[in-house]
Structure 1
Amino acid sequence: MKKYILYLFPLVFAACSNDKANENKTSENTLTARADTLLIKNDEATDLDTGSRFFLERAAYANMIQIESSNRIASKTTNNELKTYAEMLITDHKAVNTQLTQLAQSKGYELPSLLPDSKMQLIDKMDELKDEGRNEYYVRLMINEQQHAIDAFALGSRSEDKEINNFATGSLPKLKQHYQQVLKIDTALQVPKANQGDDPLKISNRNKQAG
């Protein structure tokens, strides 16, 4: 069965003329790794519109980054609320990813199996931080990535493909719930800083005004 890598965004390749054998081997390895981060279309696949293909790819990224980052924080944090939240994300996104994979396969597509380097770098940054710094970084990462996920699923909810449309539409409420929950956790993490001189959200000023 033939497979076609769908490049949804232009890629720029650089080549050098020295040592052709090593260059070709490196290029082949790079292309293989890059292919694993992209949506792949089989030769008998349904002809989906660009928005639907974009949704499948970005939804896969959303699941992978939230599962991987949540696994890391759950194994290290001592914050019980954050640990519970991370474990919930792992469970929910694994379930969504299973459904997404089945949906993509039914349309003749293979989802990305790896995250792009830019996404992995965001996750790996967590390993450089400790305790509260790592907790806060994870929460802010989830806020950002869940916004991206909601945008992607909103796009999917407008898909011309009925099954993709229904799946994305049905998944949105849970994603929005996750987002609201992480905003509350973010606020809870910031409150103790109000009296410690580290008040990036200016919580202490708001409290003074409220009083």
Structure 2
Amino acid sequence: MKQMKDLRWRLLLLFVPLAFLVSCDDDDDNSDPNLGRLTAQEFVQRAAVSDMFEIETGNMALQKSTMQEVRDFATEIVADHTASSQELMALAQQKNLQVPTALPQDKQAIIIRLNGKTGVDFDKDFADVQEEAHEDAVELFEQAVEDLEDAELRAFAQKILPTLRMHLEHARELDDMTDAL
């Protein structure tokens, strides 16, 4: 009986400090409100990569695709992303923000993979890639509309967002179409 009582006290002494540790509030009221927010530089970098990737893969589809629907979509994305890229570069230059000149390795790997495919295999992979790329782009631009402090970049993101959503819808339709092949 006494051993059981001693064990309870020891357990209590062991868990009381733990309870205080767990109950500590980690949310500092004076923490940086911008922590985790999208910066202008980060947005420009990611949006420029998105445009470059869409233009490059779109041009590839114009050369390699066997489906008219894929070529039509490729024409659409090359034109729209070329226009948004030019506008983004002008804004970035005006604000002295760095614009990438090459695609990162993960995007290069996708291009190499697509380049190695032909016919229906290319069309299916291209549609998958476009759906994922446009999901990422829509997410980025939605975040930019909410997070960016720079009013001009926020307005740019708001302006481009409907086009990206339309591309995403077309990419999904194309993906469904190519999956059926």
Which TM-score bucket, shorter chain as reference? 0.7 to 0.9
- For residue 51 of structure 1, report the CA deviation from its aligned partner: 2.3
TM-score (norm 1): 0.66
1:54-133 mapped onto 2 (5 Å cutoff): 54-133=42-121
Q: Does 1:155 align with 2:155?
A: no
Query: For the pair shown, which has the larger CA radius of gyration, 1 or 2?
Result: 2
Distance 2:92 2:140 in 1: 15
Match of 1:173 in 2: 162
TM-score (norm 2): 0.76
What count of residue pairs does the alignment treat as equivalent? 144
Task: Give 4+ residue runs of structure 1 displaced > 3 Å after superposition.
Answer: none
- For residue 190 of structure 1, report the CA deviation from its aligned partner: 2.1
Distance 1:98 1:55 in 2: 15
Name the % identity. Answer: 26
Match of 2:174 in 1: 185
- The structure whose RCO (Cα within 8 Å, separation 6+) is larger is 2
Where in structure 2 are there 5+ consecutive unaligned residues? 1-36
Distance 1:84 1:50 in 2: 33
Q: Which amino acid aligns with 1:163?
A: E
CA contact (8 A) 1:157 1:168 kept: yes
CA contact (8 A) 1:51 1:155 kept: no
Q: Which amino acid aligns with 1:171?
A: I
Calculate the aligned-residue CA RMSD, in Å.
1.2
CA deviations over 1:156-183 (Å, ceiling 9, x no partner): 2121111011000111010000000111
Distance 1:103 1:120 in 2: 26
Where in structure 1 are there 5+ consecutive unaligned residues? 1-48, 193-211
CA contact (8 A) 1:101 1:110 kept: no
- Secondary structure of the residue aligned to 2:180 is helix
